[in-house]
Amino acid sequence: KLITFHGDMPYPSCEIIEKLEALDEEDVVGSGGFGTVYRMVMNDCGTFAVKRIDRSREGSDQVFERELEILGSIKHINLVNLRGYCRLPATKLLIYDYLSMGSLDDFLHEHGEGQQLLNWSARLKIALGSARGLAYLHHDCCPKIIHRDIKSSNILLDENLEPHVSDFGLAKLLVDEEAHVTTVVAGTFGYLAPEYLQSGRATEKSDVYSFGVLLLELVTGKRPTDPTFVKRGLNVVGWMNTLLKENRLEDVIDKRCADADMETVEAILEIAARCTDANPDDRPSMNQVLQLLEQEVMSPCPSDFYESHSDYC
């Protein structure tokens, strides 16, 4: 079978194949470690993201398809929905729901004209939703899924700024363990837990570390490879600790977050510090992280949060 779908796909296969075949340079929305992502618009304007896998692990198509079956069966509001996949002789295409606002990385770091800024309440909503998606992968999926590559370009946003974690399960599926160590070190340095860097072995706790780095990115607005601290031989965790020791909380917070209140900022920094503990055993589980975020961040004023989250400009 050329195309396989998980659940409902309200388009005939012939229309999908026609659209897939017509994809070209103009439709490219981005590219990453595994291949190129295209925007595919159907006749009724329904839109999907198609990831063309350029690199893939040697292995049987059967194993690949079985794993994709599992990934496609995982449905959660905070995870990017894999609709189906298409196997062609030279390439594999994964079909995902299209997230119209692009990635968190773009929002935080691309300052192009018309780029909206994310205020503090929007960032809290993104932290919380991303934690929900990840906790679901760790604790509610069977077999559990370790993401392995949590970073801001893998958090995609919809028009309500609800976050959807993308690329889960792909690192394991597409890259063999040995090659993966070099890939991740080259590709996403800054998010990786020290023990993962050393051993190349990903665990739930290495995901928790990366999530902690993501929280710091939301607070500071800086990439984990920002020259401010890399030049001084520090990573984002070390840099933040230095500033906090000097009581310079205001230098930690992204200046673009005028609505940030110290209480929630401190609570988020505390959670991030626990997630990025050097000892993986001392890091909380994703379910605990989620609980902490819900209790400490949401409880002071949950109604305000919900009312204000949409005015992020």
Ligand X SMILES: Nc1ncnc2c1ncn2[C@@H]1O[C@H](COP(=O)(O)OP(=O)(O)OP(=O)(O)O)[C@@H](O)[C@H]1O
- 200 part of the interface to ligand X, by CB under 6 A: no
What token pair was written down for 93?
A: 């295409």
Q: Which of 167, 204, 207, 254 forms a contact with ligand X (CB under 6 A)?
A: 167
Q: Which helix (H) or strand (E) holds 64?
A: helix 61-73
Q: If we measure between CA atoms, which residue out of 98, 84, 87 comes closest to residue 27?
A: 98
Q: Which of 158, 187, 195, 288 forms a contact with ligand X (CB under 6 A)?
A: 187
Residue 39 or 87: the one with the smaller Cβ distance to ligand X is 39
Segment 75 to 94, residues that bind ligand X, using CB under 6 A: 80
Residue of 54, 106, 149, 311 with catalytic role: 149
- Name beta bridge partners: 4: 85
The conformation of residue 103, written as its DSSP 8-state character, comes to B
- 168 part of the interface to ligand X, by CB under 6 A: no
For the bound state, the minimum distance from the C-beta of residue 125 to ligand X, rounded and expressed in Å, comes to: 19
For residues 241 and 235, is the Cβ–Cβ distance under 8 A? no
Residue 82 CA to residue 258 CA, distance in Å, equals 36
For the bound state, the minimum distance from the C-beta of residue 311 to ligand X, rounded and expressed in Å, comes to: 23
**Type of residue found at 231:** K
- 173 part of the interface to ligand X, by CB under 6 A: no
- Name beta bridge partners: 41: 47
Residue 187 or 280: the one with the smaller Cβ distance to ligand X is 187
For the bound state, the minimum distance from the C-beta of residue 38 to ligand X, rounded and expressed in Å, comes to: 9
Residue 166 or 210: the one with the smaller Cβ distance to ligand X is 166
**Residues in Cβ contact with 54 at an 8 Å cutoff, skipping those fewer than 6 apart:** 34, 35, 36, 91
- 98 part of the interface to ligand X, by CB under 6 A: yes
Residue 10 CA to residue 12 CA, distance in Å, equals 7
Residue in this structure with the two tokens 């990366």, named with its chain if needed: 210
**Is 149 annotated in the active site?**
yes
- 103 part of the interface to ligand X, by CB under 6 A: yes
Residue 31 CA to residue 4 CA, distance in Å, equals 23
Q: Which residue number has the CB closest to ligand X? A: 32
Residue 147 CA to residue 158 CA, distance in Å, equals 20
Stretch that binds ligand X, among 2-10, 31-39, 111-119, 172-180 (CB under 6 A): 31-39
- 209 part of the interface to ligand X, by CB under 6 A: no
Q: Which of 70, 102, 298, 308 forms a contact with ligand X (CB under 6 A)?
A: 102
Q: Which of 78, 119, 130, 166 forms a contact with ligand X (CB under 6 A)?
A: 166
Stretch that binds ligand X, among 96-104, 122-130, 199-207, 269-277 (CB under 6 A): 96-104
Interface map 113-132 toward ligand X (x if CB under 6 A): --------------------
**Residues in Cβ contact with 87 at an 8 Å cutoff, skipping those fewer than 6 apart:** 2, 4, 61, 65, 93
Residue 3: how many CB atoms within 10 A of its CB?
Answer: 17
User: Active-site positions?
Assistant: 149
